[in-house]
Structure 1
Amino acid sequence: MTSLVLDIGNTAAKYGCFRGAALAEAGSVATPAELKAVAERTGAEHVLLASVAVPAEQWATQLAGAVRGQVLVFKPGTTPVPLHNAYATPQTLGADRLAAAVGAAYLLPGRPVLVVDAGTCIKCDLVTADGTYQGGSIAPGLRMRLQAMHAFTGRLPELPLPAVGEAQVLALCGTDTRTAMLSGALNGALLEVNGMIASYRAQHPGLAVALTGGDAAFFDSRLKGRIFVVSELVLLGLHRILVLNVG
């Protein structure tokens, strides 16, 4: 079966084309028309759409006639998933958080898994060994931290996120306003995530950590202990949800 999944985030809409269980192609689209073209080109039989930004239904209506099977919109509060969801308010749960948890539980079954999704926000989400999504935390991402300092002060400048190579030599002690802001935002986020991981490991022996998201490269070599880096974790989880719902 050829299937297509779409993750509409706050900064990009990423798609994944699966042939059987394998991810055959991944990329980004900017409009529903572009997604329809991908569906027609790949011969997708079924499509699952998920969004934390604009309503996914706006994209779903554009796919009429482009696929032979079903076009589904993932709603964490009602769509069946291959996990038990213990979140107290599932209707408010971000589709990307639950999809990443599904993907992590699929890749690392039978053990507790902490998903660290370093995107617009930094999310840490726990799946226990019995296959239960427990919830987690949401914090500002790297760019958001820098933007907030500029937006909520009178004189701090607006700084772009440094390139990966520049971030590799980031100083702990900033020697001017720019480097002090970068240290606070980036080193602060790193210490926060490492602290989260340490706390979860203390509570859940044998914990695995799955890292994903657009800023995963910054955290990859800086997180303590063994880390599984899975760049397309959300897409993988969406595909498992699609398979469950279409058979």
Structure 2
Amino acid sequence: MLLVIDVGNTNITLGVFDKEELFGTFRMKTKQPRTSDEYGITLQELVERHGIESSKINAVIIASVVPDVMHSLGSAIIKYFGVKPVVVSAGIKTGIRIVTENPRQVGPDRIVDAVGAYTLYGGPTIVVDFGTATTFDVIGPDGTFEAGVIAPGIRTSAQSLWGEADMLPAIEIRKPKSILAKETITAMQAGLVYGQIGQTEYIIRRMKEESGYPNAKVVATGGLGKIIANETDMIDVYDSQLTLKGLRFIYEKNKKNK
């Protein structure tokens, strides 16, 4: 069985695949400092609680945008699962050719999303990931990673809003019934959600125009992405497991070439 691990700025998202079937997904906070033993014990417990024998994990692949956790996490995988993890980094086979000015600046998470979207849906594709940052990436018809946009994520914007304005409270992020808000909480919710919808639609529209791919399929993923995807016809597919699937595809490509 394959354990896939996506280390994001906010959460570490994990999944277990048996061939093509995803058996379980779970999350843990990224920011909490952990030793290799703490990672190992926690990972084993999470896997076991999902009814999966940890001894059956015989392969691991990791994509991380947080370098600080990699030493402890990698050591935990080796010590507690007896497996040396594959790490998505420069030189790994992905099937995606990056043609931006500085390919090394493209985050592993964006590469993994691109692999997942292109493998599942073909190209041209615009991949939108609603995470700590909201990213928009253009994948050409031949699988080239051509360009991207990075914007503040909806939760990041929300935390900045109530963190910097003393009179504004922390709120639940959800779409209010109307944009015509009549009190502070729904006014904030309207600004955050409708603002993100407007941003999403505008960026996708401009990317289609400037890329020359007016019929590009738009594939979205990420924690709060479903809220936005349900409110706009600019997004064709919402796939909450896109990143985990992309990790599996990359593992399979590198497994075949070992």
TM range (shorter): 0.7 to 0.9
Alignment of structure 1 residues 28-39 onto 2, 5 Å: 28-29=27-28, 32-33=39-40, 34-36=42-44, 38=47
Q: Distance in 2 between matches of 1:21 and 1:158?
A: 44
Secondary structure of the 1:56 match is helix
User: Which AA in structure 2 matches 1:55?
Assistant: V
Q: Distance in 2 between matches of 1:49 and 1:14?
A: 10
Residue 89 of structure 1 deviates from its aligned partner by: 2.7
Deviation sequence 1:105-138 (CA, Å, 0-9, x none): 00012x2111111122211111111100123111
- Cα-Cα RMSD: 2.2
Residue 93 of structure 1 deviates from its aligned partner by: 2.2
Alignment of structure 1 residues 141-152 onto 2, 5 Å: 141-152=153-164
Give the one of 207, 220, 242 matched to 2:251: 242
User: Which AA in structure 2 matches 1:235?
Assistant: L
Determine whether 1:41 maps to 2:50.
Answer: no
Contact 1:50 1:56 in 2 (8 A): no
Determine whether 1:121 maps to 2:133.
Answer: yes
Residue 66 of structure 1 deviates from its aligned partner by: 4.3
Secondary structure of the 2:244 match is helix
Determine whether 1:4 maps to 2:8.
Answer: no
- Range moving further from structure 2, 26-35 or 143-152: 26-35
| Ranges of 4+ aligned residues in structure 1 off by more than 4 Å | 65-69
Give the one of 35, 46, 52 matched to 2:65: 52
Partner of 2:35: none
Give the one of 92, 103, 126 matched to 2:105: 92
State the TM-score, normalized to the length of structure 1: 0.86
Residue 205 of structure 1 deviates from its aligned partner by: 2.8
Determine whether 1:112 maps to 2:112.
Answer: no
Contact 1:200 1:207 in 2 (8 A): no
Gaps of 5+ in 2: 30-37
User: Which AA in structure 2 matches 1:14?
Assistant: T
Secondary structure of the 2:69 match is coil
Partner of 1:161: 172
Determine whether 1:221 maps to 2:235.
Answer: no
Q: Distance in 2 between matches of 1:176 and 1:49?
A: 44
Q: Distance in 2 between matches of 1:55 and 1:162?
A: 28
User: Which AA in structure 2 matches 1:85?
Assistant: I
Q: Distance in 2 between matches of 1:211 and 1:132?
A: 18
Secondary structure of the 1:205 match is coil
Of all paired residues, the percent bearing the same amino acid is 26
Partner of 2:182: 175
Give the one of 127, 131, 141 matched to 2:143: 131
Partner of 2:195: 188
Q: Distance in 2 between matches of 1:66 and 1:246?
A: 22
Q: Distance in 2 between matches of 1:71 and 1:210?
A: 28
Alignment of structure 1 residues 63-82 onto 2, 5 Å: 63-67=77-81, 70-75=84-89, 77-82=90-95
State the TM-score, normalized to the length of structure 2: 0.83
Q: Distance in 1 between matches of 2:201 and 2:130?
A: 13
- Range moving further from structure 2, 11-20 or 60-69: 60-69
